[in-house]
Amino acid sequence: MNHPNPAIVAQSAVRRLPRLALLLLCVAYVLPGFWGRAPWKSQDLEALGYMLQLAQPAMGEAANWFKPSLLGQHDPQLALLPYWLGAGFLRWAPAGWEDLFARLPFAGMLALTLAATWYAIYALARHPAAQPVAFAFGGEAKPADYARALADGGLLALLACLGLARLAHEATPALSQLCFASLIFVGLSTLPRWRGKSGIAIAVGMLGLTLSGAPSVALWLGVGGSVIRATGQSDPAQGRLRMLDLGLLALLCLLCITTAGALDLWRWRVVPHAMLDVHIMAKLLMWFTWPAWPLALWSLWRWRAQLAQVWRYPHLALPLWFVAVTVGATWFTGLTDRALLLALPGIAALAAFALPTLRRSLGALIDWFTLLFFSVCALTIWVVWVAMQTGFPAQPAANVTKLAPGFLPEFSGLAFALALLATLAWAGLVKWRISHQRAAIWKSMVLPASGAVLCWLLLMSLWLPLLNFARSYGPTVQKVQVVTGTARCLQYAGISQAQGAALLFHAQVRLQTAAQPSAECPWLVMDEKNRPLMAERLRVLGWEQAAIAARLGDRSDRLLIFRPAPESKDISPAQTNAASN
């Protein structure tokens, strides 16, 4: 095949990235954030609440697995599969381990996303149009070695993306959508080489994405990607199977449509936008996909000669299609970063194809920028942690006290050891990178990926108690329990789903809607924001305010605690005042 190709790569530039180092890097990225972290508000906590309601329904009630609900409200996203997985693992969880067991399938989905992205880029790089130029006297990179080096670089680019860290470590439908989208991506990328396994990956990906609340995105990705793969094939022997492949795809699409219709999963939430939103969208793309997007643009520029007939070149067309569909979905559904999450595997693939075309000066610029950026970030995390533990330097310690009043720092030997080991590994990696080493096309992505993993690990170890205090409802629920004591049932009125999930998880109580006080449910909680709307109704039902549960200096999330009127029940003054102190 005659095609313009900017990739000129020698065999010496595609040496193997050590598998153990790559595996340890992925483990250091996947586990922190799933282990030891409290559920954060709001989506992460709400998702856990739906899982708890499915796994542990209220006494006398049966869980409706096809209509998950929390506080009597159905999930508007109707993302069934992630809630099923979390609730299924919750049923096996021992006491005190509920949050960890609920996150186990999501940790597996993140690991599967990383693996699928690697194999997808590897398969795309094996396409004849993506292979490097053959040298006159030999010595060019071998196809398998070249594809493996690009796949390593693409995986590193995915790990380096700033937007992946937090959302990929939450037990929410966004992560399951990312996982199943990546399965569609790898299934289409490996066609027709691994036809049977590829078909299974596409089928599981489309059905999983449909059941994860994105049936329309599943159809767009599956149908459009299959058309690209069909038009991009050049082997006549494979071409005779296209009608069978398209027939199977049609059946799969029909199955997805039928499933979505039967479960009422179609939800069109098209949001109109103004010209100002273009600026917001651009900012979201720039920070969320950094540092992969500059490399993706560079890749499109260097491979621009193939863009005129891009459908013939799946190594460009397929990632571009996934990025276009995801960016379009992000634009039409409210400019949310959760929708944009699905674009990261495609952007990482495009970034990988920029690596064999990078000039040495540009690679050095990437290295020095990421070295300075992540080193400063890691140093800042360490300085603030030392300030929290010792009070020196004084200014960072004062800032923590101001931003998180009432927080009491704690020392964890395990967290300190992990953070220290990661920092030493970063120092060794920097020393290796700036030394004279043989060129490898994935070297430019080592520091960005390792720096992102380092900072995420430091945040999830040294700063984890502070982040749990600031981003969870744990401290607020503890103050509710000081007032309500050993009550196992609470009535509620006007609280958010995240607040309800926090009461279910942290207090482990049964919740019922507001009614008259009873001996079984002698306390009622309400969000302070709704007091003007519901105060009169609660007074008529026989409730009076007893206390306020809130963090010191924080007026954003305050729960009001109500008790029966004095003639109904006497409450200790010590309990009444405890939650406000």
Helix (H) or strand (E) holding 110: helix 98-125
Residue 178 shares a structural domain with residue 277: yes
CB-based contacts of 364: which residues, under 8 Å, 6+ apart? none
E strand or H helix at 547, and its extent? strand 543-549
For the ranges 81-85, 201-205, 212-216, 234-238, the lowest mean pLDDT is seen at 234-238
Same-domain pairing of 134 and 271: yes
Q: How confident is the model at residue 160 (pLDDT cuts 50, 70, 90)?
A: very high
Query: Is 333 in the same domain as 231?
Result: yes
- Average pLDDT in the 553-567 region? 83
435 inside domain = yes
The residue to which tokens 């969320």 are assigned: 288
Residue 525 DSSP SS3: strand
Cβ(319)–Cβ(225) below 8 Å: no
pLDDT for 428: 93
Q: Is there a single domain that holds both residue 369 and residue 479?
A: no
Model confidence at 251, pLDDT cuts 50, 70, 90, reads: confident
- The residue range of the domain holding 385 is 360-471
Query: Which candidate, 40, 45, 71, 54, places its Cα nearest to that of 495?
Result: 71
Q: How far apart are CA 389 and CA 409, in angstroms?
A: 6
Helix, coil or strand: residue 102: helix
Q: In the structure encoding, which two tokens stand for residue 102, read together? A: 């609920």
Q: Is residue 439 part of a domain?
A: yes
Of 568 and 559, the one with more pLDDT: 559
Contact of 314 with 373, CB cutoff 8 Å: no
Tokens linked to 556:
């954003």
Same domain, 512 and 427: no
Q: How far is 547 from 556, CA to CA, in rounded Å?
A: 16
Given a contact cutoff of 8 angstroms between Cβ atoms, the answer to whether 558 and 528 are in contact is yes
* Structural domain total, the chain: 3
Q: Are residues 467 and 481 in the same domain?
A: no
Residue 259 falls within a domain, yes or no?
Answer: yes
282-298: average pLDDT? 94
Q: Does some domain include residue 11?
A: no
Last residue of a domain, one of 299, 331, 357: 357
Q: b/e for 455-483, b at 16 or more Cβ within 10 A?
A: bbbbbbbbbbbbbbbbbbbebbbebbbbb
CA–CA distance, 160 with 149 (Å, rounded to integer): 17
Examine the domain organization and report whether 478 and 467 are in the same domain: no
Q: Which of 32, 287, 286, 299 is nearest to 153 (CA)?
A: 299
| Residue 236 is assigned to a structural domain of this protein | yes
Rounded distance between C-alpha atoms, residue 371 and residue 146, angstroms: 26
User: Has residue 480 been placed in a domain?
Assistant: yes
Q: Which amino acid is at 546?
A: A
Helix 314-332 crosses helix 215-232 at what angle (to 10 degrees)? 160
The CA–CA distances, whole Å, from 305 to 6, 350, 351, 510 equal 9, 15, 17, 63
The answer to the question of residue 60 being in a domain is: no
Both 462 and 514 in one domain: the answer is: no
Is 549's pLDDT higher than 70?
yes
Q: How confident is the model at residue 64 (pLDDT cuts 50, 70, 90)?
A: confident
Tokens 């005042």 — which residue? Answer: 577
Asked whether 344 and 178 are in contact (CB, 8 A), the reply is yes
Say what angle helices 80-90 and 173-190 make with each other, to 10 degrees: 110
Task: For residues 467 and 480, state if they share a domain.
Answer: no
Whole-number pLDDT of residue 161: 96
Residues 332 and 428 in one domain: no
Query: Has residue 394 been placed in a domain?
Result: yes
pLDDT greater than 90 at residue 308 = no
Q: Whole-model pTM above 0.85?
A: yes
- Using the 3D structure, point to which of 471, 497, 518 is the last residue of a domain: 471
- Domain identity same for 192 and 103: yes
Asked if the model's pLDDT at residue 235 lies above 70, the reply is: no
Domain check: are 428 and 333 in the same one? no
Query: 359 falls in which pLDDT band (50, 70, 90)?
Result: confident
The rounded distance, in Å, linking the Cα atoms of 555 and 482 is 19
Q: What is the pLDDT of residue 479?
A: 93
Is the backbone of residue 137 left (phi > 0), alpha (psi -120 to 50) or beta? alpha
Residue 61, CB-side half-sphere exposure with 13 Å CA sphere: 15
Residue 511, both tokens: 């919740």
What pLDDT does 177 receive?
A: 96
Separation of alpha carbons 22 and 429, rounded Å: 13
- Residue where a domain terminates, one of 307, 338, 357: 357
